[in-house]
Amino acid sequence: SEVKERAVPAPREIAAAEAELLAAAASLGPPSEAALLSRLHWWTVEYGLVGTPDDYRLYGAGLLSSLGESHSCRRPEVRKLPFDAGCLDLEYDITRPQPQLFVAESFEQLESVLDEVSTGLAQRCGGATALARARDSRELATVELDSGIQISGVLSAVASPADAPDWLDFAGPCALARDGRILPDWGPGELGDGLRFPFGRLADGSALSALAAGELPRELELLFRSGVRVAGRRGRVAAGEDGRLLAFSVEDCRVTRGEEQLLGPGQGSVVLPVGERVRAAFAGPSDPGFHTDTEFSPRRVPARKVYAGETARLLALYRSALRLWEKPEAPELLTGFEELEDALCEQFPDNWLLRWNLLECLCKVGRGPELAGRLRRQLLEVESRFPDDAPVSTGLRFLDERYPEPR
């Protein structure tokens, strides 16, 4: 997009940028939830239609703010598809006109589709589905258990059974949080890299999350319903505001499942977040403070544009109009606007926007009826030459309604 918007883009630069973009997109694999939500945003907030495929209205901001696309979208080669959750399957290209658009029956139907999509998100559905998406992302994510404890790290493994996971492995720096705040002394600096722990109900059906922090015994031997046994000495304890247990560490810890030793005493203390099921999972850390402060990049994106030729001369006329409009009652306004009109007629006979700006200013202050009349005629002439790109008549009706001439 940045390359194409340069004043004089080189065809080779555009071709190289497009090839690089296609290669990057092809390497992404299955789309993430963020990518799917960006598609949903694009086909609704930016390029949405409402009505029927044969009789619709525009509501997307991208269409409403683009005169060209607000006209071109009506062409028969632009397919109008009934809006449903299937729009998530279609990618978009911000550098080209859209080949298809989605038409919602009504805003009520739009809301129902949004609800349908949201219920399938990892942050809403939780459980094994949420864990699988966090693991498959191979990036920093947060898993929230039903106790409210949030574990941030790179989820690297989930133990079966698939429909009721009972063991999680996190790699890289990890942190424990509650309500989006890292618990004191349980951040990346204190936990270090990696967390491996069982979770779920105990074999007798009881829940660790139901215990008050002070009820956890000094010497521990916990048998989980999954068959995982944790034995050792209680270390640090984290509790919520209600005093309920959120997490604890076990010193000299031995973790086994039947005859299999999962973690031995030589591995030091083991941290156990407390919870019986996965409530949600989402990308990134729960607390932005998980990341240390970094310097902002000195590179400016997009790059500052340098204009030349006709574009530079036209922008200079816009700046002159703005300077004159700073003092709308000054005598110089009319003479200055007339000079701008002369320049437009001589250099930019097809420009409609600056003529429109001048006319609207004159209507606001009720001055210069002769100049206003000339600008109107010029605008209608431009519209006759470019009916799809200059919807002047609609704008003139708006001006007549808002600034009626005195009778």
55-90: pLDDT as tens digits: 999 999 999 988 778 888 989 999 999 999 999 999
The pLDDT of residue 406: 54
The pLDDT of residue 162: 57
The answer, yes or no, to whether residue 350 has pLDDT greater than 80, is yes
SS3 207: coil
Angle between helices 332-347 and 369-385 (to 10 degrees): 20
CA atoms of 41 and 77, how far apart (whole Å) = 23
Each residue of 387-402: pLDDT tens digit?
Answer: 777 678 888 888 888 8
Tell whether omega for the bond before 161 is within 30 degrees of 0, i.e. cis. Answer: yes
What percent of the chain has a predicted confidence (pLDDT) above 70?
96
The pLDDT of residue 30: 83
The pLDDT of residue 263: 83
The pLDDT of residue 123: 86
CA atoms of 384 and 392, how far apart (whole Å) = 9
CA atoms of 179 and 150, how far apart (whole Å) = 8
Q: What pTM, to 2 d.p., does this model score?
A: 0.72
Q: For residue 116, what are its two tokens?
A: 């349908």
The answer, yes or no, to whether residue 184 has pLDDT greater than 90, is yes
Report yes or no: 143 and 284 within 8 Å, Cβ to Cβ: no
Q: What is the mean pLDDT of residues 4-21?
A: 84
The answer, yes or no, to whether residue 243 has pLDDT greater than 60, is yes
Name the least confident of 107-116, 231-240, 277-286, 384-393: 384-393
Q: What is the mean pLDDT of residues 358-363?
A: 95
The pLDDT of residue 7: 64
For the chain, the average pLDDT equals 90
The pLDDT of residue 170: 96
Each residue of 109-160: pLDDT tens digit?
Answer: 999 999 999 998 988 888 888 999 999 989 999 999 999 999 999 999 998 6
CA atoms of 308 and 351, how far apart (whole Å) = 17
Between 5 and 64, the higher pLDDT residue: 64
Each residue of 89-122: pLDDT tens digit?
Answer: 999 988 788 999 999 999 999 999 999 999 989 8
407 pLDDT band, cuts 50/70/90, is very low
Report yes or no: 291 and 145 within 8 Å, Cβ to Cβ: no
CA atoms of 200 and 77, how far apart (whole Å) = 55
